[in-house]
Amino acid sequence: MRKIFWFEKNFFLGLLGFFAALILQIKFNPLFGLKINFVLMALVVLALFLDFFEVIFLELFGVFVLNWQPNLSTETIIFFLLPAAISLIKKFLPGQIWFNGLLLIILGVLGFYYFSSLGSFLKNWPEAFGGIIATIGFGFMIFFSFYSIQDYN
Amino acid sequence: MNKRRWLLLSLIIILIFLVFLKPDLGWKIRGFINRGLEGDVEGMNRLAAENENLKVQLVLLDQVKEQIPESSSGYISAFVFTYYPFSLKDKFLIDVGTNQQIKIGQPVVLPINKKLDSKNAEGILIGRISTVFDNSALVQTIFDKDWNLKVKIGKKGEPSLLKGGSTPKLTVINKEAKIADGDVVYNADPNFPFFYALGEAADPKFSSDQVFKEADLSFAYDLSRITIVYVLK
């Protein structure tokens, strides 16, 4: 694959997707009444396609811009750990990349809500459910966008 | 290790430094993305808040104002640093904390008066202090799903329970109550100053079990674009 300044094309496309997700999350959330975790989904998907250090760089940039209090909150720590863990384990997963991708997107979103705000979710599940479905939908969308431009030959 | 790795590692180290030592720089970037290209949103929010407050004043004229406790004896003005970025919670961070005598539970309002010499802050009740740091504090807003508040609706002061969420709901309203679109909703919870407006009732209807009425709470302002709030003492 052609390289630009030592980086492969994927990194720059990932960077583009990441910043688009960041702007969506900051400026256009909630979207149609649904709060969507655009950046988390972008990072989960990028963790499947990018190198570990590239993922860590994007994650830290996400934490830097999205962190919302002087201390690192539980949500922020989980937000950092999830894509990093996916990036580490992706090589050991059986099955096709598309299947692993879709599975990890669903598990990533559910894991984030479970570990960060289970109490709030249980109290307000009808409303929260819509946000989760929309977040997974956004994840599928960017996953297939990335998957379709990969060269697997 | 190749050049790409060295470059990434250097950037990662810089970002770690920024995350822990200069978090305010990240908040400024967010603020720029959020508000950078917009017009006078704060001015529009202020007008909307003033409109809500005028409606409450009209309600007050119909009631015995003398019997109501004094609402506020002062306030601290604060800038909004940043908003909770994920779903399920609705909070924001302001630039005053323990060092400015901020305590958990203090009410937070969207201001409508700019007079620096004014002792009382007029405005729309939008939240309360939930966590306090040295020089900053978290505000839980009425859009947070964990928020509940006793309120009254309209000139007759129909009691209701406000349940927070991305679309806050007015619940357990007496089914005989006459609620109309646009009726002002104001605080009736003793933990907060009385007669602070929250918004307007919208789309009143019977609850699914037909035992009570319920309605949405509508707002003329955009909470995610607020830059200045008052913390009531």
Q: What is the per-residue pLDDT across B168-192, written as a single tens digit (0 to 9) for each? A: 889 999 988 888 888 888 888 888 8
Under the banding of pLDDT at 50, 70 and 90, the label for residue A21 is very high
| Cross-chain Cβ contact B8/A53 below 8 Å | yes
Residues of A in contact with B27 (CB under 8 A): 68
| Cross-chain Cβ contact B93/A121 below 8 Å | no
Chain B: residue whose CA lies nearest to A40: B86
Residue ranges and CATH numbers for the domains of chain A are 2-149 (1.10.1760)
| Cross-chain Cβ contact B87/A37 below 8 Å | yes
Ramachandran bin of B182, using left for φ above 0, alpha for ψ from -120 to 50, beta for the remaining angles: left
Contact B163, B148 (CB under 8 A): yes
Whole-number Cα distances in Å, A41 to A47, A98, B15, B170: 10, 15, 21, 33
How confident is the model at residue A78, as a pLDDT? 92
**Could you say which residues from 16 to 35 on chain B have a Cβ atom under 8 Å away from some Cβ of chain A?**
16, 18-19, 23, 25-27, 29-30, 33-34
Q: Is B60 helix (H, G, I), strand (E, B) or coil?
A: helix
Amino acid residing at B172: V
Amino acid residing at B225: R
The two tokens of residue A28 are 């256009």
| Cross-chain Cβ contact A27/B33 below 8 Å | yes
Instruction: Please give the residue that has the higher pLDDT: either B145 or B174.
Output: B174
Low-confidence winner among A97-106, A144-153, B18-27 (lowest mean pLDDT) = A144-153
How confident is the model at residue B75, as a pLDDT? 84
Q: Return the closest-CA partner of residue B99 out of B135, B142, B141.
A: B135
Amino acid residing at B102: I
Q: Report phi then psi at B19, rounded to 5.
A: -60, -45
**Could you say which residues from 35 to 94 on chain B have a Cβ atom under 8 Å away from some Cβ of chain A?**
82-89, 91-93
CA distance B91 to B103: 16
> Could you tell me how far CA B32 lies from the centroid of its own chain?
21
Distance from CA of B84 to the nearest CA of A (A): 6
Residue B142 neighbours by CB distance under 10 Å: 24
| Cross-chain Cβ contact A63/B19 below 8 Å | yes
pTM to 2 decimal places: 0.77
Name which of B26, B133, B136 is nearest A64 (Cβ-Cβ). B26
Residues of A in contact with B86 (CB under 8 A): 35, 37, 40, 66, 75, 79, 112, 116-117
Q: Is the pLDDT of residue B128 over 90?
A: yes
DSSP symbols for chain A: --EETTEEHHHHHHHHHHHHHHHHHHHS-SBTTB---HHHHHHHHHHHHS-HHHHHHHHHHHHHHH--SSSPPHHHHHHHHHHHHHHHHGGG--S-HHHHHHHHHHHHHHHHHHHHHHHHHHHTHHHHHHHHHHHHHHHHHHHHHHHHT----
Distance from CA of B89 to the nearest CA of A (A): 8
Whole-number Cα distances in Å, B41 to A47, B73, B127, B156, B226: 37, 28, 19, 33, 8
Q: Return the closest-CA partner of residue B89 out of A117, A74, A77.
A: A117
pLDDT over 70 percentage in chain B: 78
Chain B: residue whose CA lies nearest to A54: B8
Name which of B5, B26, B131 is nearest A53 (Cβ-Cβ). B5
| Cross-chain Cβ contact A36/B87 below 8 Å | yes
The two tokens of residue B33 are 């993305």
Summary mean pLDDT of chain B: 80
Residues of B in contact with A116 (CB under 8 A): 86, 88
Whole-number Cα distances in Å, A69 to A99, B19, B76, B116: 36, 11, 20, 28
Under the banding of pLDDT at 50, 70 and 90, the label for residue B140 is very high
Under the banding of pLDDT at 50, 70 and 90, the label for residue B41 is low
Q: Is B81 helix (H, G, I), strand (E, B) or coil?
A: strand
For testing the chain A interface, which of B5, B20, B88 should be mutated: the one with the most A CBs within 10 Å? B88
CA distance A107 to A113: 10
| Cross-chain Cβ contact B82/A68 below 8 Å | yes
Residues of B in contact with A128 (CB under 8 A): 87-88, 145
A87-119 pLDDT tens trace: 999 888 887 888 989 999 999 999 888 888 777
Name which of B3, B136, B145 is nearest A6 (Cβ-Cβ). B3
Q: Return the closest-CA partner of residue B160 out of B104, B207, B106, B209.
A: B207
